[in-house]
Structure 1
Amino acid sequence: MKRVLLFFLLFTISKYAYSQQLLSGSYKDKELQLVLSDIESKTDIIFSYSKELIGSMKITLNYKEVTIDELVKVISYETGLQLEQLSSQQIIITQNKQICGRIYDAETKEPLTLATVISSTEQAVTTDSTGYFSFESTSSTDVSLRVKYIGYGDQTISIPLGARCRDIYLDPSPESLDEVIILGYVTTGIDKYEDGSVSIDTDKLGILPGLVTPDIAQSIQLIPGITSLDESATGIQIRGGAPDQNLIFLDNIKLYNTGYFYGMFSAFNPYATQKAKIFKSGASPAYGDRVAGVIDISTGNEIPKKAQGGFGIDGLSVDGFFKAPVSDKVAVYLFARRSYADVWKSPTYDGYATKIFKNSGVVTNANNEVIEIISDDEFDINTSSNSFYYHDINAKVLVKPSDTDQIAISGLLTRNRLDFSFENGGEIRDDDLLTQNKGLSVHWRKQGSDLWRHDLKAYFSEYTSDYLNVEIVDNMLEESNTRNNEISDFGIDYNLTHYFPNGHIAAVGYQYTNADVLINIAKSEPLEPDNLEDNFESKEQKLNTSHALYAEYKHSFGNSGLLSIGIRGVQYSSLGQFYGEPRLNLEYPLSQAVRLKASAERRYQPISQLVEFNQTELRLENNLWTLSDDEQFPILSSTQFSAGLLVDYNGWTIDTDSYFKKINGLTSYTNGFSNPIIELSEGTSDILGVDILIKKKIENYRIWAGYTYNDIVYQFDALRSDAFPGNNDITHNFRISNTYQLNNWQFSLGWSYRTGEPLTPIASYDSNTAFATFGDVNSSRLEDFHRLDVSIIYDFNFSKEGKWRGRFGLSVLNLYDRKIPLSMIYRAEDEGEGGIELKQVVQRHSLGITPNAVFRVFF
């Protein structure tokens, strides 16, 4: 026993002595293998390692009177290798997966505390008081790091796995304002910013369910609180707001129409829209004239180092783009796209056409009994003909005459044309619709010094919608209907921003706009020219000029928090009044993983869309823009409050938002009630909602689920004495999506579900007289909607150098082919004491199974 105790005592003393042994040495650019052998000769230590791991690695060391433990740490830091002590004498050397470094100010060389480091594997850490950071990499290859700090320019570096710790120096930059707080908020290319906005970068956008091209309008519908009730690209509703209540810019050009083919396809060329910033609430006071969301799209602002471009074809259109530097200070962008349905109708087009032109179906009354409606529109999709095409062109010139100046000139043209006709028993009906946008903008930015920035923007936007319907019986023109809506909009915006020390920013600005709006509706019956009721023309032209002053104060905290306080004051000539719009937005981290969010705002809208049912036969794209006049069409006002928590930890993202919004100034003409006979009346909307996003990333697999609860209540005393569900009251909206990447393959599967749209039921119907009575407004609902979407993409190179790259993709919308009515509209005439004659029930159905394919080439 004594021998055992003696052995244990000697072992403990020797181990302590070993750990306290002091060593000195100096090696300059010497092979690591030789350095380790020299250390072994001076100690009892044995280093175990693979010669392939060490290779010809060299090291420079200069140490004096350090312990073995301290020396091991130095070697690990200098080589990037992991040295692990297995016993008192053996140290094993392996590949180190730890990424580490220190962040410094490039000018003062002072360490930067709480700088954010985000890896390409979406791991995020912050630096300590010495500027040091470290994390264990989950990647088996090189790691890309993005380093961010308030008031400094971002820096991206690539670190080989196992490399030594790096010293990283950031340059001060007052323009570095927009801080990403979650990279890959939903999926790659969709990021969350500290000002509450969500950004979509199409260059980085990963695969999405049912999509094979990076469509902005469809992509943003993955974000909770944003949806489309009719599956369209343009019917976007943000937190219960109508589509016309969203402010949409493309390169600072204000847009009034953003879709083709009755809004089913986006008017944004997917490869022209490089980046989009979306605000659901809490937008800067620089944004005005709308009461719902903001979608600010840019085609890019960088001068490429070399020419780049691409072209492709999908189930709807062909497109191409080209970006090239003219010099190191000038670049040109060009984007073009055209559909080919007028030449060949693909299965993709047929799926959308069936949805658009099939307006009939089973009709039931309030007791769910099937009733037969005598319709004066007996056309069928299978017996009709249609010719449809669209094209768009975007161009941009970028000029950087100096290091402090940048000038961008952008132009766009979109054109959508549809001819639809059918013949039935000698009767011919023909519809012709043309919609187009034209726009031009100039943006000059000058960085006056490190403290000042000037932005001067000017734009011109023109929107035209022309509709003509004719009815021909026995080769005689029996009736014609025309509807024309034109908008000419010109605006100027000047903004001055000052940067104070320690993250304080102040901005002031002035905006001038001039909007000229024309509405022309006419009906003619040449065979009965004396019938004044059926021969009329209504033409109205309104002009509105506005002057707006705005100011904003921002404070960016060093821990990536933000406080923004703003005020906007605007005067509208068409209303003759001045309106104030306060704004407040707060994002504050309670810890590294949890953030608090809150916002409050007041906003006004002087232009809206009225929904016109009677003078169009297709009754799908039936919205006409009109200016508020404080008589028939009051100005819209919105007050919104929101608060929530954002948790981002260990690959999990949980984002919750609760909000309340009140909208005043709604009218029965601007909300499109399905009621057959309705007089002009004014009402309000109260919106209570909750948005929830849950996302998890596991290596190359992502799964996310979004849920929105909405309680939208209308109060229209002329329609109902009590409150009732709003037209867009979708109580529950749920979506779950999955994506997986395997080498060059990407896979995505997504399922969506939502509550059916409110409906005014038919209480009774007499099939002999076609007279009907109706229940309470929006007292019933349509079927709940759900569908399953899938997509697959394969990327490849045409050559080893990778200068020419290719992409092939397949997608299917509504994989199990479930088709239901999404909305119903009643067409009727008031026959006085005889009652209401119901002429037609227009049903808008969901898409059936709709495939799509894409082939693209990039260079």
Structure 2
Amino acid sequence: MIRPVKSFWLLAFLLIGQFVYCQHNARPVPLQNILATISKMHEVQFNYLEKEVAAIQVVPPSKELSLSAKLTYLEQQTGLQFARINEKYIAVSSKKAESIPETESLEKITIPLQEITIARYLTTGISKSLTGAFIIKPKHFGILPGLTEPDVLQTMQQLPGIYSADETTSNLNVRSGTHDQNLFLWNGIRLFQTGHFFGMISVFSPTLTEKVTIFKNGTSAFYGESTSSLVAITSFTENEVKPATGFSSNLISAEFHTQMPLSERANFRISARRSYTDLLATPTYQNYYDRVFQNTIVTDIHSQKNAAYHSAETFYFYDFTAQYQQKIGNRSEVTAAVIGISNVLDIHQENANAIQFRAKNSQLEQQNFGVTTGIQHHWNENHTTKADGYISYYNLDATNNALENNQNLNQQNRVTDMGIRIEDHQKITSDFTFSSGYQYNEIGITNNDNINKPVYSRKVKEVVRSHAAIVETVYQPNNRFFLKTGLRTNYIETFSKFILEPRLQLDYALTTSLHLEISGERKSQTASQIIDLQQDFLGIEKRRWTLSNETTIPIQRSSQIAIGFTYKTQDWLLSMDNYYKKVSGISSRSQAFQNQLEFIKINGDYSVLGSEFLIQRNFGRVYSWLSYGITNSEYTFDTYIPSQFTNNFQVVHSISWAGVYEYKQLKIAVGSKWHSGRPETTPLSSVVALDNPLKPTINYNMPNNTTLSDYFQVNFSAAYTWQLQCGAQLELAAAVLNILDKKNLINRYYRVNTDTNSIESVNTYSLSRTPNLSVKYTF
């Protein structure tokens, strides 16, 4: 337990030594690196032409200087002009006016003042755009309670209306939706696995991530195959890539990344991360382990029998990304990228009391690999065409060798998703933009189960092919009015069915501070996750992907409408969003029932009516925010009695608060989360039903007749960054999740104890107090 911590701080001290060395050996560094550092320190953005700054290198100004003093210093050293456009934007230009060739891109000096409505939403690096999307830029990320780095999916849970029913990134619930109803894209590749360590850590490394776009409603018509939210992650950069390498580590994993220009127009970037949990057991890993594996075959291996077993587990994960960008002339660009994600769990079990010694090995592997390539061409400054193709492969494979009966069970879930996309965007006038596109998608899913005792084998393979035609318009006649409309026409070739999906986003400035927002959408999806048995895949990753067949599993369809207001001044932010959402075609097997509906296969829908509120106040170096959400969500299953009851993922009330202090290189955050308990179904009696003496059962009350106890958690984070004079950067961060060590009950179900023919409750508790440390060094 002590060795990894010692190693961690040894690395930190070595890096600090490098820092001291650099302080006394200052040397010139690229101006673009200096501007990037100043942007992050002072929350400003520089706009410039690449050709004017690319070759300039100067000794960085002292970090103790004010922003104005740094700009004056840079003007003296570079001969450039630094003009303040407003509080956020600074234009960089040569003092001597030069004519610019027609072929020169002016994108670097374009100031998108109307693109962002809220520049800092919750924290630095999170903004909200006129399109209704939340934009996260990890490189400009501030700090949030409980996080040592900008974990994409953990950050997403800070937004109103988004939470995880079981504290994982593989079970995100957006406005009462299930996790599989969210669409996750990495550079256009659909990912079917989003969590490492079975959901405790996001698979998306923030190191090379440039931008994360999140839609809860009003999604662009260019995105389909989801009935809830969209999370689109982009790692391609619009800026010139400078050589940079970095190492980082926390108490779970270590990471390496590097980027390098191959020429003036081409660059290559890679990142790789691996846990060392199979080598060292840190306190952070042990707490994650206890949270993930409680009530699974890993820790509950007795199969409800009185026998003595020993088990040993080996777990590790890794991920990697690689990407290539090549500009062709001044108008075209080619891109290619790959991503790989893997989790491996090995379980060794022994029967200690058996007369004949027995030992078995079980294993679970989960992988997602993807590749994409694309091309983009600018016909002129008002007309752009894009085309790309992608393949995503997902595999979940579990082998369970039971000690007590020598039963061997192998289960496999495979997904192959491939497609092509073509987009055309044309600015017809200064007020009106018209976009169109075509998409083709083919998704195949295989489910395979094999048992030796009794001999049983099942293999089901399904394929769905679909086409989509897209049109989208944006009308913005002035700074007060923004309207985006879209229509996605899906043709499901497999079922010979058309599905129309209109989209809408309106933003109207009633005053300079008050905005009215109206959004709406209809969406659909053919792929979803179901649970056949709670013990599937060792009881850890119980969900398997499957496809709609329009009989037992229909196509899911959603409709959503929302109206809200945003009030923004220099120091205040107030927002309110009221919404109604309905999703039809859901299967009871996709909703994680663990009551009388667990083995019933019926289809229905759910509807949710809710409101989300946010108040944020800026006190200079300190800012704070408070959010509140209220929802009423119900299922409707017409063939079941009662036909209506509470949604499994409903939390009626939820409150989040955080306070953040930022001063120069120091950042501190503390925050809390509270929400009412999730629904629970209790037994009618503590005595089992013996209608069939050989198979006793439980008689339940009405579904979701009560709720669990309330959830409460307090989290803390702190980080300090050293901007080294030799162009390097060192960051140390510490965080504590559940600092009060509150034992929150997050799930409860009931089962029959076959030894005593009695009913016992099985409780799942939240993560206990969990510290984490991280160090990151880039140069």
Which of structures 1 and 2 has the larger relative contact order (alpha carbons within 8 angstroms, sep 6+)? 2
Q: Which residue of 2 aligns with 1:83?
A: none
Letter of the 1:448 counterpart: W
Partner of 1:216: 152
Aligned mates of 1:351, 1:819 — CA distance in 2: 13
Matches of 2:269 and 2:530, distance apart in 1: 37
The alpha carbon displacement at 1:428 in A equals: 5.4
2:206 to 263, 270, 276: 270
1:788 to 702, 707, 714: 714
Offset from partner CA, 1:725-756 (integer Å, 9 cap, x none): 10101111111011102332211101001111
2:330 aligned with 1:399, yes or no?
Answer: no
The residue type equivalent to 1:515 in the other structure is: I
The one of 712, 719, 738 equivalent to 1:814 is 738
Change (3 A) 1:759 1:429: farther
Tell me the SS of whatever aligns to 1:686: strand
Per the alignment, residue 68 of structure 1 pairs with none
How far has the Cα of 1:235 moved from its partner?
Answer: 1.4
Distance across 1 between alignment mates of 2:219 and 2:140? 24
Contact 2:41 2:664 in 1 (8 A): no
Deviates more, 1:326-335 or 1:173-182: 173-182
State the Cα deviation string for residues 3-46 of structure 1 (Å, max 9, x = none): xxxxxxxxxxxxxxxxxxxxxxxxxxxxxxxxxxxxxxxxxxxx
Q: Structure 1 residue aligned with 2:700, among 774, 793, 797?
A: 774
Partner of 2:675: 754
User: 1:545 & 1:837 partners in 2: Cα distance?
Assistant: 49
What's the counterpart of residue 431 of structure 1?
362
| Structure 1 gap ranges (5+) | 1-117, 124-137, 149-153, 160-169, 361-373, 526-533
1:828 & 1:402 partners in 2: Cα distance? 70
Unaligned runs of 5+ in 2: 1-39, 46-65, 72-81, 94-104, 297-301
Secondary structure of the corresponding residue to residue 203 of structure 1:
helix
Q: CA deviation at 1:259?
A: 1.0
CA–CA distance in structure 1, aligned partners of residues 335 and 514 of structure 2: 39
Q: Does 1:679 align with 2:600?
A: yes
Does 1:721 pair with 2:642?
yes
| Preserved CA contact (<8 Å) 1:303 1:328 | no
One of 543, 564, 569 as aligned partner of 2:489: 569
Contact 1:428 1:471 in 2 (8 A): no
Alignment partner, residue 376 of structure 1: 304
The code of the aligned residue for 2:253 comes to S
Q: Does 1:607 align with 2:527?
A: yes
Structure-2 residue corresponding to 1:657: 577
**Contact 1:120–1:145 (8 Å) recurs in 2:** no
Asked if 1 retains the 8 angstrom alpha-carbon contact of 2:326 and 2:334, the reply is yes
Matches within 5 A, 1:152-167: 156-157=90-91
Secondary structure (helix, strand or coil) at the match of 1:350 reads: helix
Asked if 1:514 corresponds to 2:442, the answer is: yes
Give the C-alpha shift of residue 377 in structure 1. Answer: 6.4
Q: Which amino acid aligns with 1:332?
A: F
Q: Distance in 2 between matches of 1:496 and 1:336?
A: 34
1:305/1:551 Cα in 2 relative to 1: closer, same or farther (>3 Å)? closer
Local SS of the residue matching 1:498: strand
Q: 2-side partners of 1:618 and 1:464: how far apart?
A: 15
Alignment of 1:581-660 (within 5 A): 581-616=501-536, 618-660=538-580
Equivalent in the alignment of 2:19:
none
Q: Give the secondary-structure state (helix, strand or coil) at the position aligned to 2:686.
A: strand
- Helix, strand or coil at the partner of 2:589: coil
Measure the CA separation in 2 of the matches of 1:377 and 1:670.
Answer: 30
User: Shift of the alpha carbon at 1:432?
Assistant: 1.2
Is contact 1:772–1:837 with CA below 8 Å preserved after alignment?
no
Q: Which residue of 1 aligns with 2:775?
A: 855
Which digits, 9 at most, give the CA deviation of each residue in 1:382-441, with x for residues without a partner?
Answer: 953211111111000010111111111111111110123444544756531101111111
Partner of 2:624: 703
For the residues of structure 2 that align with 1:222 and 1:724, how far apart are their CA atoms? 28
Q: State which drifts further: 318-327 or 842-851.
A: 842-851
Give the percent of matched residue pairs that are identical in Structure 1 and Structure 2. 28
Rounded to whole Å, the distance in 1 between the matches of 2:307 and 2:198 is 19
Secondary structure of residue in 2 paired with 1:388? strand
Residue equivalent to 2:747: 823
The answer to whether structure 1 residue 486 and structure 2 residue 414 are counterparts is yes
Distance of 1:555 and 1:383 partners within structure 2: 66
Cα displacement string for residues 528-586 of structure 1 (whole angstroms, at most 9, x for unaligned residues): xxxxxx43122100011111101011112321532011111111133321111111110
Secondary structure of the structure 1 residue equivalent to 2:536: coil
Which whole-Å deviations, capped at 9, do the CAs of 1:765-793 have from their partners, x for residues lacking one?
33798643211111111111111111111
State the partner residue of 1:235.
171
Amino acid in the other structure paired with 1:678: F
- Compare 250-259 and 674-683 and name the one that shifted more: 674-683
Mark the CA change 1:250 to 1:121 in structure 2 (over 3 Å): closer, same or farther.
Answer: closer
Question: Taking structure 1 as reference, are residues 579 and 308 closer, same or farther at Cα in structure 2, changes over 3 Å only?
Answer: same
Q: Do the aligned partners of residues 813 and 591 (structure 1) sit closer, same or farther apart at CA in structure 2, a change above 3 Å counting? A: same
- Cα distance, 1:423–1:785 mapped onto 2, change above 3 Å: farther
Structure 2 CA distance for aligned equivalents of residues 349 and 751 of structure 1:
23
- Tell me if the contact between 2:400 and 2:538 (Cα under 8 Å) persists in the aligned partners: no
Matches within 5 A, 1:268-417: 268-302=204-238, 304-359=240-295, 376=304, 384-417=311-344
Change in Cα spacing, 1:698 to 1:824, as seen in structure 2 (3 Å) is same
In 1, are the aligned partners of 2:488 and 2:500 still within 8 Å (CA)? yes
Larger Rg computed on CA atoms: 1
Decide which of 468, 471, 492 is 1:551's aligned counterpart.
Answer: 471
Q: Which amino acid aligns with 2:121?
A: Y
Cα distance in 1, alignment partners of residues 92 and 576 from structure 2: 34
Task: Give me the whole-angstrom Cα distance separating, in 1, the residues matched to 2:196 and 2:665.
Answer: 32
Residue of structure 1 in register with 2:30 after alignment: none
- 2:195 is aligned to 259
Shifted more, 385-394 versus 671-680: the winner is: 671-680
For 2:520, give the aligned amino acid: A
**TM-score scaled by length of structure 2:** 0.83
Number of matched pairs: 683
In structure 2, give the amino acid aligned to 1:646.
T
Q: 1:444 aligned to 2:375? A: yes
User: 1:631 and 1:249 mapped to 2: Cα distance?
Assistant: 29
Q: Distance in 2 between matches of 1:460 and 1:599?
A: 32
Deviations 1:148-204 (A, max 9, x none): 9xxxxx963379xxxxxxxxxx96899969811111111100011000000000000
SS in 2 for 1:778: coil
Shift of 1:837: 7.0
Task: Go from structure 1 to structure 2 and tell me whether the alpha carbon gap of 1:275 and 1:463 turns closer, same or farther (over 3 Å shift).
Answer: same
In structure 1, distance between residues paired with 2:732 and 2:751: 45
Paired AA for residue 467 in structure 1? A
Aligned partners of 1:617 and 1:637: how far apart in 2? 29
